Every structure is written in structure tokens, then in C-alpha cells.
Amino acid sequence: MRVRTMLLAAALGMAGVSGAVAQGAPDLPTRRPEEAQADPLQAFDVNKNGKLELAEVKSAAAARFDELNPDQDDSLDEREAAPVLPGESFRAADTDKNGKVSKAEFLAYVEQMFNMANPDGDGALERAELDGKNGQALMKMLR
């Protein structure tokens, strides 16, 4: 009886362990991109110095622009830009007021947002700046 109970416990224990492993395994491929999404610093910090320089932010913004512009006509109309430039921000970014946001306009707007998020003016966004309101608004535009 005693042995049987122990065997049963061992069997249950093993089932528990293998169950956890089986559950963990399918998560692994998706976990890393999710972490990168949750942490823009890791996702965009190309030179791995723990902060985001303007060049890193701009190259991420340029990639995002291309992603939003499948027709490749070098500008975003209001509908294409909606995920990153809703309403007023679209008109603010469209500096020549032609109803479209070109890549140059988009990058100029991103640079303004970068400067707002970087009050110490040291050319890079540190963790605390990224976590601030302006830093988070900027990061939302990049993914």
C-alpha cells in the first residue's frame, strides 16, 4: 500500500513535470519577439549601448514608414498613417499641407518627438526617458 502510494505520487509528479515542459515548449518561439515588443530599448538599440540614439530611432521609423506604405509611393495618406499619426498629429506632420506625409516629413516629425522625449539633450534616450510620457508616445509610433 505504502509503495503503491509512493509510486502513484512519483507518477503524478512526473506527469506534472512533463506537463509543465510540454506547456513551456510551444511558448518559446513566441516569447522572444514579445519581449522585444515589450522592451523597445532591446528591439531598437542596434549598437547595444543601453540607450537609443537618434539614428537608431530614425532607422526604426523609416522601417515602420515602409511597412505602413505598401503602395511604395513615398507618402502616407491619412488612412495609411492612421496607426502612427491619428487625427491632429497627421496634420502636424504634414508640414507642406498636401494631405500626405512623405518619408522626410515623417522622419522630421519623429525627430521632433525624439527631442521632446530627450530633455537632457545628450543625443540619446535613456531608459527613464523612454519610460516617460513623450518617450512612450514616440515608441508607439515605431511599432
Residue 95 in 3-state DSSP?
Answer: coil
- Regarding 128 and contact with Ca ion (CB under 5 A), the answer is no
Q: For residues 55 and 46, give the distance between their C-alpha atoms in angstroms, rounded to a whole number.
A: 10
Q: Is 84 in the site for Ca ion (CB under 5 A)?
A: no
- Give the C-alpha separation, 48 to 119, whole Å: 22
- Segment near Ca ion (CB under 5 A), from 5-13, 27-35, 83-91, 110-118? 110-118
Contact flag: residue 96 with Ca ion (CB under 5 A): yes
Rama region for 85: left / alpha / beta (φ>0; ψ in -120 to 50; rest): beta
Q: By CB under 5 A, is residue 115 in contact with Ca ion?
A: no
Query: Residue 93 interacts with Ca ion (CB under 5 A)?
Result: no
Taking the CB of residue 39, how many other CB atoms lie within 10 A of it?
14
In the list 73, 91, 115, 140, the residue contacting Ca ion (rule: CB under 5 A) is 73
Give me the residues that bind Ca ion (CB under 5 A), please. 45, 47, 49, 53, 69, 71, 73, 80, 94, 96, 98, 100, 118, 120, 122
